[in-house]
Amino acid sequence: MAERSFKKEVEALRLGDGDTFHGEGILAVAKALLQSGVSYVGGYQGAPVSHMMDVLEDARPILDELGVHYEGNASEAAAAAMLGASINYPMRGAVTWKSTVGTNVASDALSNLASAGVKGGALIILGEDYGDGASIIQERTHAFAMKSQMWLLDPRPNLPTIVHMVEKGFELSEVSSTPVMLELRIRACHVYGNFPTRDNVSPPISRKKLLSQQDFNHDRIALPPSTYLQERLKIDVRLPAAVKFIQENGLNETFSGDLSDLGIILQGGMYNSVIRSLQQLGLADAYGTSRLPLYVMNVTYPLVPDELTAFCAGKRAVLVVEEGQPDYLEQAIHAVLRRADLNTRLHGKDVLPMAGEYTGEVVLRGIAGFTESVGHATAAFDNAGRAIADLDTTKNRAREILGGSVPGRPPGFCVGCPERPVFSAMKLARKDLGEFHIASDIGCHTFSTLEPFNMGNTVLGYGLSLASSTAVGPNFDKRVVSVMGDGGFWHNGLTSGLAESVFNNNDGVLIVMDNGYTSATGAQHIPSSRAAERDGAHTHVSIEDTMRGFGVGWVRTVRTYSIEKMMDTLKEAMTTKEKGLKVIVAAGECMLAVQRRLRPLNRDKIARGERVVQPRFGVDDEVCTGDHSCIRLSGCPSLTIKPNPDPLRDDPVAYVDNNCVGCGVCGEVSHAAVLCPSFYKAEIVHNPGIADRLLSGVRRSVIGALQRLVAKPPASSPAE
């Protein structure tokens, strides 16, 4: 079970004919896969499709009933390679991952898959983490579709359309022997809606209906001369077949409108934003009835030239709403119109931004800009300008009063996170060691590049920190410290990092965060997961043993919360005469997982009257002088500030709020950094035994006596 359990939700996967599904978009996709009769599913977690992996994991019983195989793939490359099953055999398969990073990782297998072509429908569900709140580089998947000749679906973001496109996607894949990608933007993955369900289809080939004949066909091998044939097939056979299918099945949609000399061509994913903006300008209603004709591309690759020319014919101007850069669609449509010798004026990136996410506001401004450039067509057009002006006034006024932007809320390490103290230790070690280069990786620990640590010079990819240090190391007067999560280690770091370093006898330091999960994506399990709660197969591969198995001589496993030990170990690793890779396994289970396990346990224990000791930290606000150096060394969300209760002081003092889980870092930091004596650890003993009571009774009476001995009224006491 990952961070979020879908045990309840997955029951919706059993719905059949005539039922209605209510739930998240990504869960609807899972249901659509089963309705399409997939034989196998898999993928690699990452926002916004992590939930899909969690759902499939939690849905194992249902998958087993249908004989569907679920594979928790080691990486996106592995997931893409798994689709190879559909090359030789007519079985449908689907995998999912976070794009565009996952697609980058998978692209080797994808190229070969697309060239070989598929017999069974192969579908790739891409979670586009683009723009607002994205945690990755901003790039388009579109280029992959074009370069490898794979088809790209970008459905209108409502459940019925998404489900329909999943089902049609398999058919499209099969009629054109081509893998199909379906991209869902983050808000579409998390959208809650409903659609009418159909019965699940148990696949013709499955763990219940096994193959017995292997299928050899050299035309499907990535070797010349087959590759020349495959290249020609892509263009001469598969592409036309796809275009024909898209057209005949009306996968793209045209909506008419009375302002027929104008129109909008848009990616399916942009549809709802376009409608809302038109509605705001008085050009559409709540049901999508638009006064401007629309051509909605639920398939953004390949294009259907006939449909495009038919839509543009007789229009003086058309707006292309295409999110992302470069403007592949706009360029392609220009070419289509040119070939058809249509002189319809094309607007797009001239009124819409070339880069960045198309939020509601961006689309609104773009459409308003379009109405301006095409001149008066209806009274509504004249209002557009005013709508934008009002918007600007409000926003400017807000900034005025708020005094610029309000402080941001960047992501950070959770309360009690075991990774944070590693960077506290590193920050302290730097005082003695001096400046050194830090190669960062992808995972929660990437937050070390933000306040209060600001540590980490590069992020090159998942599991690539060590690989990214190999040219810096030999050219730097101190060893490079590479930080890698256990997730990244198993995903890629094992070979491109560890093996390469050992092979080249590189002299560097590697810190592996052994927290037991891919925590950043929602605590999915990995080979080194210890958690016994995992359903089904349970493996535990020790990271330290793996290091030694690869021939690393210098390996130390350190509990992350022991900051001083971590400091000393890091200093040793940086200064030891020993050559070769020095590895520190920073061990500490993800605190979210720990709490998820312990909270209910302790609650029950306390209820049952058993003895439970609950630790947490506090600050003496009369001892704290409000310099906040503890916060700059920790950054724990529960270590915050409060107004100074001292009538003679103004600066806020440090304060530990009720979210504290008593991980111990506050004490460790104040010791390791020699901060201040303000911190104390308080342990509440629930259901104390007789011994506890007696002891504390004696203690309190003795201490009380001492206090009465010198009884003077205290210098200060609470206001009330």
Applying the rule CB under 8 A, the residues between 629 and 658 that interact with another protein are 629, 631-632, 635, 637, 639-643, 645-652, 656, 658
Least distance (Å) between residue 449 CB and another protein: 13
Token couple for 595? 């709490």
User: Chain centroid to CA 197: how far?
Assistant: 28
Nearest in space to 96 (alpha carbons), one of 129, 62, 135? 129
Q: Is residue 716 close enough to count as binding another protein by CB under 8 A?
A: yes
Distance from first CA to last CA of the chain, Å, rounded? 49
Residues 369-408 as x/- pattern, contact with another protein by CB under 8 A = ------------------x--xx--xx-xxx-xxx-xxxx
Closer to another protein by CB, 354 or 613: give it. 613
Residues 18-37 as x/- pattern, contact with another protein by CB under 8 A = ----x---------------
| Residues of this chain, 517-556, that bind another protein according to CB under 8 A | 520-522
Stretch that binds another protein, among 207-215, 238-246, 287-295, 533-541 (CB under 8 A): 287-295
Closer to another protein by CB, 86 or 524: give it. 524
Task: Give the CA angle between residues 118, 147, 496 to the nearest 5°.
Answer: 85
Beta-carbon contacts of residue 562 (< 8 Å; ≥ 6 apart):
668
Q: Out of 138, 227, 289, 309, name the contact with another protein by CB under 8 A.
A: 289
Least distance (Å) between residue 49 CB and another protein: 11
Size of the site for another protein (CB under 8 A): 134
Q: How far apart are CA 498 and CA 607, in angstroms?
A: 48
Tell me the HSE value of 275 on the side-chain side, using a 13 A CA sphere.
17
Q: Is residue 432 close enough to count as binding another protein by CB under 8 A?
A: no
Nearest in space to 459 (alpha carbons), one of 484, 494, 433? 484
Stretch that binds another protein, among 27-35, 114-122, 228-236, 271-279 (CB under 8 A): 271-279
| Residues of this chain, 134-193, that bind another protein according to CB under 8 A | 135, 157-158, 160, 185-188, 190-193
Least distance (Å) between residue 7 CB and another protein: 15
Least distance (Å) between residue 335 CB and another protein: 31
Strands 40-43 and 458-459: unpaired
What CA–CA distances, in Å, run from 459 to 412, 543, 584?
17, 22, 19
Q: Out of 285, 306, 533, 545, name the contact with another protein by CB under 8 A.
A: 285
Q: Is residue 603 close enough to count as binding another protein by CB under 8 A?
A: no
| Residues of this chain, 333-372, that bind another protein according to CB under 8 A | 359-361, 364
In contact, 7 and 55? CB cutoff 8 Å: no
Which residue type, as a one-letter code, is found at position 656? V
Closer to another protein by CB, 276 or 349: give it. 276
Q: How far apart are CA 493 and CA 441, in angstroms?
A: 10
Q: What is the largest CA-CA distance in the chain?
A: 103
Closer to another protein by CB, 379 or 674: give it. 674
Least distance (Å) between residue 318 CB and another protein: 21
| Residues of this chain, 484-523, that bind another protein according to CB under 8 A | 520-522
Q: Out of 277, 448, 501, 506, name the contact with another protein by CB under 8 A.
A: 277
Tell me the HSE value of 167 on the side-chain side, using a 13 A CA sphere.
17
Partners of residue 473 on adjacent β-strands: none
Beta-carbon contacts of residue 568 (< 8 Å; ≥ 6 apart):
none
Partners of residue 535 on adjacent β-strands: none
In contact, 269 and 301? CB cutoff 8 Å: no
Q: Out of 75, 141, 280, 465, name the contact with another protein by CB under 8 A.
A: 280
Q: Out of 19, 64, 132, 199, name the contact with another protein by CB under 8 A.
A: 132
Nearest in space to 130 (alpha carbons), one of 110, 159, 156, 101? 101
Q: Is residue 677 close enough to count as binding another protein by CB under 8 A?
A: yes
Closer to another protein by CB, 161 or 173: give it. 161
Q: DSSP character for 349? A: T
Q: Is residue 410 close enough to count as binding another protein by CB under 8 A?
A: yes
User: Chain centroid to CA 611: how far?
Assistant: 40
Nearest in space to 184 (alpha carbons), one of 394, 21, 30, 386? 30
Closer to another protein by CB, 247 or 625: give it. 625
Closer to another protein by CB, 186 or 425: give it. 186
Least distance (Å) between residue 675 CB and another protein: 7
Q: How many residues does the chain have?
A: 720
In contact, 85 and 40? CB cutoff 8 Å: yes
Q: Out of 11, 61, 108, 133, name the contact with another protein by CB under 8 A.
A: 133
Closer to another protein by CB, 204 or 645: give it. 645
Least distance (Å) between residue 110 CB and another protein: 25
For residue 370, the tally of other CB atoms under 10 A from its CB is 24
